[in-house]
Amino acid sequence: MAENSSELFDAGHRACGGCGPALAARLIMKGSGENTIVVASTGCMEVFSTPYPETAWKVPWIHSLFENAAAVASGIEASLKRQGRDEHVICICGDGATFDIGMLCISGAFERGHNITYICYDNEAYMNTGIQRSGATPYDADTTTSPAGKCSTGNARPKKDLPAILVAHGSPYVATASIAYPNDLVKKVERAVNTEGPCYIQVHTPCCTGWGFDGADTMAIGRLAVETGLWVNYEIVDGELEKAKKIVNRKPVEEYLKAQKRFRHLFRPGRNEEEIAKIQAIADRNAKKFGIDIALKK
Amino acid sequence: MMKIVEGSHAVAEAVKLCRPQVISAYPITPQTHIVEALASMVADCELDAEYICVESEFSALSGCIGASAAGSRTYSATTSQGLALMFEVCFNAAGMRLPIVMTIANRAMGAPLSIWNDQQDSISLRDAGWLQYYAEDIQEVSDLHFIAYRVAEDHRVLLPAFVCFDGFILTHTYEPVDMPTQQEVDAYLPAFKPYQRLDAKEPISMGMYATPDYYMEFRYEVDRAMQRARDAYVDAARAFADQFGRDYTGAVEGYRLEDADTALVAMGSICGTVKDAIDEMRADGKRVGLLKIRSFRPFPSEEVAAALKGASTVAVLDKNISLGQKGAVALEVKDALYGSGIPVLDYIVALGGRDIRKRDIAKIVDLAEKGTGDMFYGLRTEVL
């Protein structure tokens, strides 16, 4: 831990160079501040930030299991309430812990209305165990358990719409964000921790190792996801869409896909026009649903 | 004050007197009356606690982990399938050294589904790092909650604890119970002082992962804490006896054992039946005694060996079976008696709520005297 640093998620962790989740952790802590208790799930971030006896966290931090962060946070929140304490309780968990194995605990915590903020750092697969697909893995992505092959174009299903599920739980604040838009992310975290009730933020965190791109390009990849409409940054407040980031002259998805090895099977040996068109259709649907398109003549 | 009270309500009353700050629980037969009673106490402002009405046992204990880590005295209760769903959380709570107390209303494990009593559930968690205490009657199960909190929270120990009592046989029956006053319990059980807690003013990281360079030492420390729990238990039980006059200082307890040829060993409510059977057999001139195991974890091997050293045959009544081996209690007793030459015979009894009566105990003693054992007792004849 760097003693003279003001970062609450500090240097000295063991993440890959260009790790999207590590950057997310730093930005999340800027938004939440030092009066925060962090609950982590098992996963990349837990492993790279807290190998005993070292820690990168300058706020109280607890990891219990893979799938129970929301339940542990519920207990912490209840305890703080009993003690008259006012720390923010935030979960920072990967997409496997959130979309898949932790769903039950999240649903329970949101339905009960605990005053917690649950933040999913979404790198779209189980990266800690070696890039296996999760419910957050996008359509056609090649992972070790949804491999592209002679009779497979990769992951067979689109991403689960988890924010919609949490909106349906009556969450007062559900937002998506991206590390490629740092100020937006910090503001959303600030807003969530200051909103009473269970809030959810899903942060797009490109993973250079799992997605197959150079660690220097993390921000560029994150931006391309938003600029193509495959990722939309939005805020839903009390069930109503309040804001979605507009995109001027949305780029074709191909620009995003081509930049990552997880989609390279769509381009070699030949272009798979049919599959690329399906992914473009996903982006087009996103754009329509959230009304993000601004077309300017070049 | 003496009152006639249902077992589950006695437990709820005792838990209330322990002043838990956070209760996190999920209903399951035959534990339900405990959590219902506690929910009512909270609803009526008789108990000043947060009651987290969770969506599963998995979250029940996970909630206790969070609340305990944040510095609150916590409580839960479960049984059987619910405890099995907590399996991974149980190991975690112990490894994180969180002194949660949880009542287990002992019940069989499916399949086939059974809501009735045996002790397979908590015994299957014997390696999880939880203290395990077993009660014979409703007075004992109530009192063991006060003692369990003292031991669990003792800074020499800092381990979670199961207080186990037999489902239906004790949860749903009424017995006279001497329930202490709040003032008396406050004098016995001081407010929870966590060894450390999550606090923004003094940040710590809890539940970090350990490489092979460190992992073994954490396990060693949990085992050492288990060993220290022996003394901590005796201290807590002695203080209880001094204040309340009821003596639970023995991790084991003998009944007419001194000159016994055949010594029965058992845990939980069956001990009451065994004692009555022993009185009848003694009247017929049979030298029979009982060793009741109160603490299954840590297991009191030395006390067991000392108590059974005069017996010529030991017959263990196991309300569980480690499938492919024997009953878990018999294995522990054999380990304790290793080298003594005393034969230990195992009887798997009363699984899934099958009744066991005094005449069955007498038959088991007859079998043991003939050297016939290591068997399921009381099976339907068509399977034999």
pLDDT tens per residue, range B230-268: 999 999 999 999 999 999 999 999 999 999 999 999 999
Mark which of B188, B209, B244 sits at the end of a domain: B244
Q: pTM higher than 0.95 for the full model?
A: yes
A153 beta partners = A148
For the residues B268-297, what does the mean pLDDT come to?
98
Q: Helix, strand or coil for residue B155?
A: coil
Q: Which residues of chain A have pLDDT under 70?
A: 1-4, 298
What pLDDT score does A4 carry?
A: 67
Q: Is residue A1 part of a domain?
A: no
Q: Residue range B12-37: average pLDDT?
A: 98
Question: Could you give the CA distance from residue B60 to residue B76 in angstroms, rounded to a whole number?
Answer: 7
Nearest-by-Cβ selection for A75 from B52, B53, B207: B52
Judgement on whether residues B236 and B274 belong to the same structural domain of the protein: no
Tell me the chain A residues in contact with residue B68 when contact means C-beta distances shorter than 8 Å. Answer: 75, 79
User: What is the distance in angstroms between the Cα of A131 and the nearest Cα belonging to chain B?
Assistant: 20
Q: Indicate the average pLDDT of chain B.
A: 98
Q: Quote the pLDDT of residue A26.
A: 98
Whether A228 maps to a domain, the answer reads yes
Cβ contact, residue pair B66, A76, below 8 Å = yes
The verdict on B283 and B147 lying in the same domain is: no
Pairwise CA distance, residues B299 & B227, whole Å: 9
Q: Which residues of B touch A104 (CB under 8 A)?
A: 55-56, 58-59
Report pLDDT for A265. 98
Give which of B198, B202, B215 to mutate to test A binding, by max A Cβ within 10 Å: B198
The answer on B332 and B201 residing in a single domain is no
Query: Do residues A284 and A242 touch, judged by C-beta distance below 8 A?
Result: no
Q: Is residue B146 domain-shared with residue B14, that is, in the same domain? A: yes
Spatial separation of the C-alpha atoms in residues A102 and B277, rounded to whole Å: 51
| Start-to-end C-alpha separation, chain A | 49
CA atoms within 13 Å, Cβ hemisphere of B103: 41
Size of interface A-B (CB pairs under 8 A): 158
| Interior/surface letters A122-131, b for 16+ CB within 10 angstroms, e for the rest | bbbbbbbeeb
Place of tokens 């790279």: A48
Whether A6 is in a domain gets the answer no
Q: The domain that contains A215 carries what CATH number?
A: 3.40.50.970
Helix, strand, coil % (nearest 5) of chain B? Answer: 40, 20, 40
Shared domain for B133 and B279, answered yes or no, is no
Verify that B178 and B64 share a domain, yes or no: yes
B254 vs B277: CA distance, rounded Å: 15
Residue type for position B63: G
Considering CB atoms only, which of A35, A73, A82 is closest to B21? Answer: A82
Question: For the domain that residue B334 is a member of, what is the CATH number?
Answer: 3.40.50.920
Q: What is the pLDDT of residue A2?
A: 52
Last residue of a domain, one of B177, B212, B244: B244
Q: Quote the pLDDT of residue A5.
A: 80
pLDDT of residue A81: 98
Model pLDDT for residues B163-216, shown as the tens digit of each residue: 999 999 999 999 999 999 999 999 999 999 999 999 999 999 999 999 999 999
Strand, coil or helix: what is A84?
Answer: coil
CATH code for position B161: 3.40.50.970
Torsion angle of alpha carbons B26, B28, B34, B36, nearest 10°?
A: 60
Q: With the CA atoms of B78, B79, B85 and B91 taken in that order, what torsion angle do they form, in degrees rounded to the nearest 10?
A: 80
Query: Which residues on B lie below 8 Å from A63 (Cβ)?
Result: 206-209
How many Å lie between the alpha carbon of B106 and the closest alpha carbon of chain A? 25
pLDDT, one tens digit per residue, over B75-111 is 999 999 999 999 999 999 999 999 999 999 999 999 9
Task: Please choose, from the candidates A145, A127, A271, A118, the residue with its C-alpha nearest in 3D space to the C-alpha of residue A212.
Answer: A127
Which residue is associated with the tokens 């939440």? A32
Asked if A68 and B71 come within 8 Å (Cβ–Cβ), the reply is no
Of A51, A52, A75, the CB nearest to B67: A75
The two structure tokens encoding residue B121: 């559930």
Residue A214, in any domain of the structure: yes
Query: Which of A60, A70, A76 is opposite residue B67, by nearest beta carbon?
Result: A76
Residue A13 lies in a domain: no
Report whether B350 contacts B270 (CB < 8 A).
yes
Question: For residue B285, how many other CB atoms are within 10 A of its CB?
Answer: 6
Q: Based on the fold, state whether residues B216 and B271 are members of the same structural domain.
A: no
- Name the token pair of B166: 């037999």
CB < 8 Å to A10, chain B? none
Number of domains forming the structure of chain A:
1
Co-location of B168 and B275 in the same domain: no
Q: Which of B182, B215, B244 corresponds to the end of one domain?
A: B244
CA nearest to B218 within chain A? A52
Q: How many domains does chain B have?
A: 2
Burial of B208 (0-12, 13-18, 19+ CB in 10 A): buried
Q: Would you call B65 and A75 a contact, using CB atoms and an 8 Å cutoff?
A: yes
Do B25 and B152 lie in one domain? The reply is: yes
Whether residue B259 sits in one domain with residue B184: no
Within-domain flag for A15:
no
B179 with B283, same domain: the answer is no
Residue A11 lies in a domain: no
Domain span at residue B198 reads 2-244
- Residue B198: which of A60, A68, A109 has the nearest Cβ? A60
- For residue A24, being part of any structural domain is answered with yes
Question: What is the per-residue pLDDT for A3?
Answer: 59
AA letter at B83: L
User: Looking at the structure, do residues B56 and B149 belong to the same domain, yes or no?
Assistant: yes
Domain that holds residue A281: 20-294
